[in-house]
Structure 1
Amino acid sequence: MKTKALFYKTNEHRLILMSLSLIIFLFVQLSCANAQNNQWLQFQAAQPNGKHIVLISGDEEYHSEESLPMLAKILTTHHGFKTTVLFSIDPKTGTIDPTYQNNIPGLNNLTSADLIIIATRFRELPDEQMKYIDDYLKAGKPVIGLRTATHAFNAENKMKDSPYAKYGYLSKEAGWEDGFGKQVLGETWIDHHGQHGKEGTRGLINGLFKENPMLNGVSDIWVPTDVYTIKDLVADAKVLVWGQVTKGMTAESLGSWEKTIMPVAWTKSYSIESGTKGKAFATTMGSSIDFLNEDLRRLIVNACYWAVDLTDKIPEKSNVDFVGNYEPLMFGFGTFKKGLKPNDYR
């Protein structure tokens, strides 16, 4: 009887130890997953449309770390997109730091992406991160570029000897002249056409494309960021919105007739080494404060439908109501909210 009792007791102890081991294992796995996922945001739609958008922030001036979570929540809550938002993360602190140009965790999410929205500026990423971007573009998948995406990458320092140096905005490599901005979006960084910080942008809808569903519900765009210089768009680019410089930083400011209008939103096609053709939409508007303008938000939402071949699903007036509070900062260097982690933008 003692032997039998000892047998049951030993088995009981063994079961307890196995259970504890399993609990510890699951805890460690969950902790690792949470530690990784805390480096980016992901939103799941209550009524998913089956499309996944990855939004890539990382600029020092226009606070894409604020605007892209806001856009992601609109796209998921009102339009059924699964969204993932990536940030420039300081690996020492785990906090969002747009001035840290060499680390955007979570780019592996591009393997399941149907669309990327990129708003980076002068990033110099390690090869293992750039590979995900390169593979995505070689597959000819769609791209939306905001504001500084015309100069999304730089290759003057850490990327100088990288196989992805061609992505830099000053690239001279044959077939990659002026880098990602020119070859994918249609233009690289040239200059400010308006006076930065003193003149804004009035969006003028191109009447030639007023029946284009991408312009559904889009009629009144004014933003405080100035017009960028656009030198030479490719022949197949379709300018949906032209930008007029305004003599001031309010929506009531008069337009400047001394300065020519410039393209500020357009579509085009692109193809890189693989030859697979993809679609691109670009706008030189897009600071976080610009997105207080409802029609600019609507233009981007409509562009997402177009990019993933759901043009026939574009609403007559897309719902672009904010999900939660949105109080963006005025653009400027060194003014981002310090010490925040991705979940602070949830």
Structure 2
Amino acid sequence: MTTIVTLAGEGEYESDVTMRPVAETIARELGATLDYRTPSIIEDTPDFPESSFGGLDVLADADLLLLYTRFRVLPDDEVAALAAYLERGGAVVALRTSNHAFHPVAASPWEDWTAGFADRYLGSAWSTHHGHSSRTRVEVVAPDDPITEGLPPVFEVDSWLYVNEPPAAARVLLAGDPIDPEIPPQPSPVAWSWDDDGRRVFYTSLGSQSDLERSEVVRLLTQAVRWAIGEDR
């Protein structure tokens, strides 16, 4: 049976709470086993305290990592388990603040790994966004893709648009335009899939509380997980 490990928890969007029904829906739809983990400390700024997911040995046998964290500082053994999972080609579906999922700690043996996580494993690190008072118009730009099947061609979300630049080898699935931006508007990819030498990656900057209550977003994530674990093969 497919095993999905979900790591959810950060100090901005309450992902430790909002991701649980989404992850449970995905697991039920796919007939998968769900191991849902939240960090021992949710707060992330300004002090970046160390937190723990209770040990991540479960990743050794996992089929998918479903990730929605921000600025985590983890024990070395948990970072090592994450690194081993990714280096063996483990699939990843990641949301919003996961493009700054970890906070590098100076002089840590994992400083470079955590600093480079998003660029290396998701395809793009966080840079900026269009402001907390803005919203986003989302367009499906790859309607023929199994991940976007059944989505409305255009929809609006409450989350503000991140500025992203995925790798050239990625396939952009959703594109966004900011509504009432606080900075000069920069249309940007909202979701992409990436076959990184056999390791399947999906990232989306969607993920605010109201985003995760939308049926089209849950459908997008469910289909992304199905693709990432290779059920389309």
TM-score (norm 1): 0.62
- The letter of the residue matching 1:195 is G
- The letter of the residue matching 1:269 is D
Change (3 A) 1:304 1:200: same
Offset, 1:190: 0.4
TM-score (norm 2): 0.90
2:208 matched residue in structure 1: 287
The partner residue of 1:217 within 144, 150, 171 is 150
Structure 2 unaligned segments of length 5 or more: list them: none
The partner residue of 1:189 within 115, 122, 126 is 126
Q: Which has the higher strand share?
A: 2
1:41 matched residue in structure 2: none
Distance, in Å, in 1 between the alignment partners of 2:111 and 2:196 is 19
Q: Does the 8 Å CA contact 1:72/1:84 hold for their aligned counterparts?
A: no
Distance, in Å, in 2 between the alignment partners of 1:110 and 1:299 is 24
Q: Does the 8 Å CA contact 2:30/2:226 hold for their aligned counterparts?
A: no
Q: Is residue 2:66 matched to residue 1:117?
A: yes
1:330 matched residue in structure 2: none
Distance, in Å, in 2 between the alignment partners of 1:110 and 1:287 is 26
Change (3 A) 1:139 1:243: same
Q: Which has the higher helix share?
A: 1
Q: Does the 8 Å CA contact 2:148/2:220 hold for their aligned counterparts?
A: yes
Distance, in Å, in 1 between the alignment partners of 2:9 and 2:186 is 30
Structure 1 unaligned segments of length 5 or more: list them: 1-49, 91-96, 170-178, 249-255, 272-276, 313-346
Offset, 1:216: 1.1
Q: Does the 8 Å CA contact 1:245/1:261 hold for their aligned counterparts?
A: yes
Distance, in Å, in 1 between the alignment partners of 2:28 and 2:203 is 24
Change (3 A) 1:221 1:54: farther
Distance, in Å, in 2 between the alignment partners of 1:247 and 1:191 is 16
Matched position secondary structure for 2:193: strand
Distance, in Å, in 2 between the alignment partners of 1:101 and 1:290 is 28
Matched position secondary structure for 1:213: coil
Q: Is residue 2:230 matched to residue 1:304?
A: no
Offset, 1:83: 0.8
Matched position secondary structure for 1:189: coil
Offset, 1:101: 4.2
- Residues 67-216 of structure 1 correspond to what in structure 2 (within 5 A)? 67-90=18-41, 97-99=42-44, 100-155=49-104, 159-169=105-115, 179-192=116-129, 194-196=130-132, 198-206=133-141, 209-216=142-149
Identical aligned pairs, as a percentage?
29
Offset, 1:163: 2.4
RMSD: 1.9
Distance, in Å, in 1 between the alignment partners of 2:94 and 2:126 is 13
Tell which structure's C-alpha radius of gyration is larger.
1
Q: Is residue 2:191 matched to residue 1:265?
A: yes
Distance, in Å, in 2 between the alignment partners of 1:68 and 1:84 is 12
Matched position secondary structure for 1:299: helix
- The letter of the residue matching 1:304 is V
Matched position secondary structure for 2:6: strand
